[in-house]
A and B are shown apart, each in its own frame.
Chain A
């Protein structure tokens, strides 16, 4: 095929995959329920080769799906049959660490954890820490505006990026910098899911490592008490470095898996970490323990040293694989809700679990209201995946209805396109499509992701007909 030959000529045969077997690993990201083999995979070794891939894809009018490590959970890098996967894993160099300025300049294929490892000798680190940080790449983190356990205190990716260089569909570079004047294009690029440009270089903020950290673990007899305790901690003026909650199913699974001493009789478990100066941590951990106790915690454990702190985290960090042992498959949701709605939403999820006959384990970032219900299912049972997806969509709808959102950190990808129709109006979606066209009028960058077409939303049945008139009658339908 002409495009494949042209790609091979431009970036070398070894950097282009096109056989059925070689392309197979790229047919999905970490959302493996959706799969599609791409036309080819281009694996450029440098920015100039990325530019050439883009120019050729534009010339041949071929969609380009940019991919890093493939750890995305929403199908944001799902190929189309006629598309080229632009894999940036080979652009994996840390170009500069400036310890005095506390910044790192990195290529997009650098793994998240590698940055902190490289900065450690200066006693600095990169704060955003998605759970997949040992594997996920920083370019993907920017594209998804990834979060993690520490983002309540230290912010999301968008708060820790100071400059990005992207290539547009013509292969031309554009720099977005925090020092730029006027509308904030740097903020717009974060979380744009690969639809607006191809990220080729990122400048990041590094933070000094906190002097000390302490973990307070608290067990509660009811989810309501635990949820109230979360709000009390924040109301009392403490911003924990991490504030994680698990329900009974998740506690049991994590304890069976990691054996860290979690109280398996508890209805809910809270892990609250405080960090900062030695003096501040001493004051804050005592205050947290007092607040949790006053809110009904029947068991409290405060880590006494670093190894104990890390050990207590092990259960939470392994909760997903731990739950995975109970079922052939699980589906991880990602809605956010106001903290005041925690108890109500968990109760509704439990009711939905009964309705669909599917078990759910709840593990979530309680501090920022980011839920991760894990729906257990068996893909080999006919119809069970479809039921699971319906269940998941109902959870996301519930999140929006209580004032939350359909995704806190995983992105929309292809997974939540339908749920976007519930969260946004046609006028808002039209603006999103307008933004896309400004950056990529070819529509070739990651098409069909993140923003649903109005057509799709209308087909879903959310069209509201009032007085026999459609909203936005000027728009062409079907």
Chain B
């Protein structure tokens, strides 16, 4: 009955270890890539590809846990879960053949974030190879696990700079019927209303503002929403429009993603409000004056605005995981 918990490397992982060790010997750099749908690819360095490292390793619907190879396309993962009436609770965006590994590396989460949590909240464990070529497992397959530092969740958003992630174990959720409603109103009123509604017992699973309309999605059985005459029943398509958000911009405009408190008043040049009010999308030539702004032109570049103490911690962690500086930083 006992399961093997030893960190045995598969032939593919062994290849990766050898590639890393060779890079260490040659003092060269490696960029970890999947299908290249997100981060800019540097053709000056060697690539470590996880594109072929695809497939479900372990999945028992009754455990609400799935373990997959990191190169598994989201589409395949979603299809397998759907067959069992389950889903990824964090609604990852599809950038065109996106893999679960790339989604994890870029910490991408969908519109249900304020209600069901973000990607890292679903991560239970990971198998990684660090810059020394050591194959290691952190976390596990359990929903509750507080043994050791939470490296699996920490690596979420690391964009391939610390270690190669070869496997991920994630919590999954039962699929549930969801219905979307919308109301026409000005942005400021919508921000207030979406915050007020999130404080009620109505089982909301997403809300946003786009092109003059406040949209909200309700999960499962819920009270009728026709108590306001202006409430309209909509399709669920709006959530794919906003996730991933790829608007048509005017000449010279750039798309900025701002992370704010959900109650933050309307911000100039906003073209969409998502994540229950906590994310604002701004189209402008210049960077908005705000503490948490990312240039969001689908290249997922880091903000590089960390305070010195945080920079020191991140650079220290880089040395722990990648002491020879093999993995390319963005």
Contact = CB atoms under 8 A, between A and B. Distances in A.
Interface of A: 98-102, 122-124, 144-145, 147, 151-152, 155-156, 158-159, 168, 172, 174-176, 178-185, 187-188, 190-192, 208-211, 231-232, 234-235, 237-239, 276-277, 279-280, 282-283, 336-341, 344, 365, 368-370, 400-412, 416, 420, 423-425, 427-428, 431-432, 434-435, 437-439, 450-451
Given A123-B201, A187-B154, A428-B148, 10 more contacts: A144-B146, A174-B313, A279-B222, A369-B143, A403-B141, A409-B144, A423-B148, A427-B134, A428-B137, A432-B148
B144 A183 contact: no
B294 A185 contact: no
Interface residues of B, number: 85
Interface stretch (B59-67, B180-188, B229-237): B59-67
User: What are the 7 tightest A-B residue pairs by CB atom distance, in nearest-first order?
Assistant: A438-B316, A237-B174, A434-B320, A408-B144, A187-B153, A279-B221, A231-B62
Residue among B154, B156, B223 with most chain A CB within 10 A: B154
Interface stretch (B1-9, B70-78, B243-251): B1-9
Contacts of B120: 184, 187
Interface stretch (B24-32, B44-52, B191-199): B191-199
A182 B159 contact: yes
Nearest to B152: A187
A405 to B, nearest CB: 4
A336 B145 contact: yes
B266 interface: no
Contact of A100 (B60, B118, B196, B201): B196
Contacts of B141: 338, 403
Given A400-B5, A402-B1, A431-B320, A239 B174 contact: yes
Contacts of B117: 155, 159
11 contacts: A155-B117, A174-B313, A179-B291, A181-B302, A183-B157, A184-B107, A184-B154, A234-B63, A405-B145, A420-B147, A434-B319
B150 A188 contact: yes
B313 A407 contact: no
Interface in B202-229: 202-203, 220-223
Given A180-B310, A191-B149, A416-B147, A208 B142 contact: no
Contacts of A152: 143
A431 B321 contact: yes
B176 A237 contact: yes
A163 B113 CA distance: 16
A339 B61 CA distance: 11
Interface of B: 1-3, 5, 7, 60-65, 85-86, 107, 117-118, 120-121, 130, 132, 134-138, 140-151, 153-159, 161-162, 173-176, 192, 195-196, 198-203, 220-223, 259-263, 291-292, 294, 302-303, 305-307, 309-310, 313-314, 316-317, 319-321
Contact of A208 (B161, B162, B199): B199
A210 B146 contact: no
Contacts of A400: 5
B117 to A, nearest CB: 5
A158 B174 contact: no
Contact of B317 (A145, A365, A438): A438
Contacts of B146: 144-145, 191, 407-412
A188 B149 contact: yes
B24 to A, nearest CB: 14
A185 B313 contact: yes
Contact of B153 (A158, A404, A408): A158
A317 to B, nearest CB: 19
Contacts of A188: 149-151, 153-154
